[in-house]
Chains A and B, each alone.
Chain A
Amino acid sequence: MSSPIATWSAEGQERAQQLLALYPDKRSAVMPLLYVASLEHGHVTNEGMQQVAELIGVTATQVRSVATFYTMYKHEPVGRYLVSVCTSISCHLLGGDEVLDAACGAAGVEVGGTSEDDLVTVERVECIGACGGAPAVQVNYELIEGVTDIKAIDLIDWLRNTTPEVVLADELQQLFGGQKSFDWGVPEPDGAIAPVPAFGPYGSAEEGR
């Protein structure tokens, strides 16, 4: 078991071992391990899937069957900031499609494309559970609610000019957001450092800035 993830960072290898130990059946670790692989390789690569397969003891094809089922595993490189614009029904009713157009225009991309400076990818997503704060946008899966088309342009410009190390939802909400689904309560200290959901075991959450 020494070789498979030798190319992963020490931190990534440690996380992989923690995840394998977390479940009664190792195969359950395939989804979190694919997030670790995304962090290590920038996106889900053949090498990453192979390494996940060896860690779990299944074939690379079995890992690929999982990795291609879920929309959050990216098989092509994405920008440092993944901007996901919701256009499902509640967001559609309040201007989500206009927000998507504005974000694409500001980034100079078609839907799903990445800006020339490789900083921003803009994608259309289905409902992200922020319908009371429609239209909603996520940056590296950190949420902004009540976004307008004008604010979406400001957001893209800000990301490209400021290049924040950590994407913090409260900061984005204050700068570019409006109506919220509900009172967010206490500020959230953690944010995202990559276009992977910032959840502790998968390694992209960081305390503060």
Chain B
Amino acid sequence: MTDPILTARMEANRTDSNTIDRYLETGGYEVLKNALASMTPEQIAEEVKASNMRGRGGAGFPMGVKWGFLADSDPKYLVINGDESEPGTFKDRQLLERDPHQLIEGIVLASYALGVNRAFIYIRGEYPKPARRVQRAIDEAYEKGFLGDDILRSGFSLEVSVHLGGGAYICGEETALLNSLEGRRGEPRLKPPFPAVEGLYARPTIVNNVESISNVPWIVANGGTSYAAIGPERSAGTRMFSLSGHVNKPGNYEIVMGMTWRDLIYDVAGGIRDDRALKTWIPGGASAPWLVPEHLDAPLTIDDATTLGTMLGSGAVVVMDETTDVVKAAHSIVRFFAHESCGQCTPCREGTKWLQDILERILRGEGREKDIDLLLDVSDNISPGLTWPPAMTTICPLGPSATAPILSITRYFLDEVKAYIPVSEVAGV
């Protein structure tokens, strides 16, 4: 069993893992001191690339490769995505509240590697406590000389500040986040240009997730190949999974990928509450198509999830037991996406609202049998072919995400959807 990377300190130091004193006593900022004294920026970037770590925000793109795209033109920026809003996900909140210095050390190392002198931490507006914890840690880091001008007399300088969001899921999409940080509506941008070429203030910008950057101190300290050696080849490293729903032990668990879903749900998360039967689960946040008990022995890796027509996404696993009304559950998710659609693209703006309205009609007992085909037809208009990964008619994946619960309940629980349709409607009388 591999030791935890991200949560070891907070587990061992329950009451003060967020303070700089504890961070320093447990070896914190030593990696930074060594790196600034003896490593070139290129060497750090090489270690991160060698780690094969795939971004922990949801898309799973290798972080080192993303860094390699950054255009070499000053000024350039690093933006940390702490807009964690995918339903089921609460891992970054724990990392922000309980070990903010780990993130800050990662930010300084990443900025040094990227040649960045200004970084922003974008934290969702509903996270004022995590934002306060991070701001205190930033203030402490400035006092100790780990941030600011000429850090540890290395000649390298970095300014970091926290930006609080205003309540909009879409700002987790990196170009929407950049628009928001610029003081605009959080509407995703057309890509290309990608942020690495034209990002914040139209300057080269890297946007990385909180968990991704929190791994950087360990990777630089232990070497990228050590990180790559942990777990399955294309799902390297440890990873935070947020378990919620009808499990006995909900919470965040830092695990090595490659175990089975059965291990995760029944062992790590303690099984289903009241010994009920498992009905279905969402494997990677509300955007992910659901899995059912026949998939319990599939390995938990990024690529195996793709093979099953779904994704690990943000690492949010939402478990539903046999008592769950899956139509109501799907409605909760569709309502979420309808609420959070930014409104730019017609298929998403109109389609998500139609999906919500039709589901509400069905739940009221006023559905027609053809409403099931209508749900799939609207879904197909948002994401043609209903394939995986989803085809897009929209600038960002929010619209296609809203079709995931529709596909899931019609694929696995069609009888339960039909049970809501009045008999007279089914018989056509």
Contact = CB atoms under 8 A, between A and B. Distances in A.
Nearest to A67: B166
A141 B135 CA distance: 17
A179 B166 CA distance: 27
A106 interface: no
Nearest to A186: B15
B182 A25 contact: yes
Given A71-B167, A92-B332, 9 more contacts: A31-B163, A66-B184, A88-B336, A127-B169, A129-B93, A131-B318, A132-B90, A185-B97, A190-B129
A166 B242 CA distance: 30
Contact of B10 (A131, A134, A185): A185
7 contacts: A28-B183, A66-B184, A69-B185, A93-B246, A93-B318, A127-B89, A182-B251
A109 interface: no
A129 B95 CA distance: 13
B339 A126 contact: yes
Contact of A88 (B118, B246, B332): B332
Interface string B297-340: 00000000000000000001010100010001100110010011
A72 B242 CA distance: 25
Contacts of A188: 129, 132-133
Would you list the 4 A-B pairs with minimal beta carbon distance, nearest first? A70-B166, A72-B167, A30-B183, A71-B167
B128 A198 contact: yes
The interface centre, meaning the residue of A65, A84, A89 with most chain B CB atoms within 10 A of its CB, is: A89
B329 A184 contact: no
A24 to B, nearest CB: 6
A202 B162 CA distance: 11
Contacts of B87: 88-90, 126-127, 131
A34 interface: yes
B336 A126 contact: yes
B173 interface: no
A27 B183 contact: yes
Interface in A15-33: 22, 24-25, 27-32
Contact of B126 (A132, A141, A200): A141
B6 interface: no
Interface residues of A, number: 59
Contacts of A66: 166, 183-185
A143 interface: yes
B10 A27 contact: no
Given A133-B250, A143-B129, A199 B164 contact: yes
A27 B183 CA distance: 5
Interface in A169-209: 169, 179, 181-186, 188, 190, 192, 197-202, 205
Contacts of B84: 129
B284 interface: no
Interface in B147-166: 161-166
Given A35-B164, A181-B90, A89 B286 contact: yes
Interface in A79-94: 84, 87-90, 92-94
B42 interface: no
A72 B251 contact: no
Interface in B105-139: 118, 124-129, 131-133, 135
Contact of A190 (B124, B132, B252): B132
B352 interface: no
Given A27-B183, A88-B286, A142-B128, A131 B242 contact: yes
B283 to A, nearest CB: 13
Nearest to A146: B250
B167 A181 contact: no
A114 interface: no
Interface string B278-289: 000010001000
